[in-house]
Amino acid sequence: AQSVTQPDIHITVSEGASLELRCNYSYGATPYLFWYVQSPGQGLQLLLKYFSGDTLVQGIKGFEAEFKRSQSSFNLRKPSVHWSDAAEYFCAVAPSNDYKLSFGAGTTVTVRA
């Protein structure tokens, strides 16, 4: 069955420290890959996306993600987090033959001073 897994439900990180959020997917072929961020009570904002080409993609707000085909992973990273990065982060995939987005359960990021 097709699935998107975000293994970490909650991550706490100190301001200025690095952040990595994990995402694994299970699909037959390389799907379209996305990371979204959601602040409380708000909609989803696209951070970055991957379709093909360079496996390291840059996004907004200083985020980047690396696609690793061998591991079926698309992990999100930020070298130095800011208090404003506290939010919920969702990995999402859309199979190349079907444009419906499927989401992981999300990772909540807390930033401590």
Partner 1 sequence: DTGVSQNPRHKITKRGQNVTFRCDPISEHNRLYWYRQTLGQGPEFLTYFQNEAQLEKSRLLSDRFSAERPKGSFSTLEIQRTEQGDSAMYLCASNENSPEGGYTFGSGTRLTVV
Which one, 2 or 80, has the nearer CB to partner 1?
A: 2
Residues that bind partner 1 (CB under 8 A): 4, 32, 34, 36, 41-46, 49, 51, 90, 92, 94, 99-106
CA dihedral sign, ordered 84, 90, 95, 100: negative
Task: With beta carbons less than 8 A apart as the criterion, state whether 59 and 67 touch.
Answer: no
Alpha-carbon distance of 22 to 43, in angstroms, equals 21
Contacts of 53 (CB under 8 A, 6+ apart): none
Query: Taking the complex as a whole, how short is the minimal distance between the CB of residue 34 and partner 1, in angstroms?
Result: 7
Cβ-contact 33, 93 below 8 angstroms: yes
- Pick the closer one to partner 1 by CB: 28 or 113: 28
Beta carbon of residue 59, minimum distance to partner 1 (angstroms, whole number): 11
Task: Please answer whether residues 96 and 32 qualify as being in contact, where contact means their C-beta atoms are separated by less than 8 angstroms.
Answer: yes
Smallest separation, CB 113 to partner 1 (Å)? 25
Q: Which is nearer to partner 1, 13 or 101 (CB)?
A: 101
Nearer to partner 1, 17 or 105 (CB): 105
